[in-house]
């Protein structure tokens, strides 16, 4: 998460995309950034899917997460990705539980500026200046916006009372069974 405390956007020379959501998002993103930044842009991909997204350059390296099942191999992957000196890392946060731990682990390990792509194809730079966007994004993902906010907050507030009631009821039932026996 290099440059979190900086608004500076590095040159688009090398980019690592983390396909942690619907493939259709990268199918639209890759041709767009290649049209803007040209053929000289090097793109690599970390994915859990078979195959490759549309528009991925022929020389792109594709890292498949199933090739790195243990901590030793993941450390080797992190060293290799750091050695590639990516300027930018793009991760998909589309509300799908795909590679959640992987994407944030990679964002932490790779010293590159991070951008977050959502399910609408919108993106924002993951830096301090976008704290309002990140907060809105997190609140939306937790279900604390719109009509769901009231029910979600009520569930959170009632959870300790519900748990206490269930524990007391279970203790009462077991104690009554012991007394009768």
* Same domain, residue pair 43 and 79: yes
Rounded Cα distance between 174 and 56, Å, is 62
In a domain, 156, yes or no: yes
Residue 90: give its domain's CATH number.
Answer: 3.40.50
Mean pLDDT (the chain) is: 88
Rounded Cα distance between 102 and 51, Å, is 19
For residue 34, give its domain range: 14-129
* Same domain, residue pair 44 and 88: yes
Say if residue 69's pLDDT is above 70: yes
* Same domain, residue pair 91 and 34: yes
For residue 13 the two structure tokens come to 């020379």
Q: Which of 144, 87, 90, 88 is nearest to 121 (CA)?
A: 90
In a domain, 176, yes or no: yes
Mean pLDDT of 4-9: 77
In a domain, 65, yes or no: yes
Mean pLDDT of 55-74: 91
* pTM across the whole model: 0.74
Q: Give 95's pLDDT tier (boundaries 50, 70, 90).
A: confident
Rounded Cα distance between 134 and 122, Å, is 13
């Amino acid at each position: 998460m290099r440059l979190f405390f900086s608004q500076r956007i590095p040159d688009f020379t090398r980019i690592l995309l983390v396909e942690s959501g619907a493939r259709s998002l990268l199918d639209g993103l890759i041709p767009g950034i290649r049209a803007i930044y040209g053929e000289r842009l090097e793109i690599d991909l970390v994915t859990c899917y078979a195959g490759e997204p549309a528009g991925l350059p022929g020389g792109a390296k594709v890292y498949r997460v199933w090739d790195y099942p243990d901590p030793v191999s993941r450390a080797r992957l992190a060293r290799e990705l750091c050695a590639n000196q990516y300027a930018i890392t793009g991760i998909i946060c589309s509300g799908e539980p795909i590679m959640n731990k992987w994407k944030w682990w990679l964002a932490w390990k790779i010293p590159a500026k991070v951008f977050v792509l959502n399910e609408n194809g919108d993106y924002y730079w993951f830096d301090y200046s976008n704290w309002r966007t990140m907060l809105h994004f997190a609140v939306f993902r937790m279900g604390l916006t719109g009509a769901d906010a009231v029910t979600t907050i009520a569930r959170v507030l009632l959870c300790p009372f519900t748990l206490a009631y269930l524990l007391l009821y279970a203790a009462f039932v077991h104690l009554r069974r012991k007394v009768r026996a």
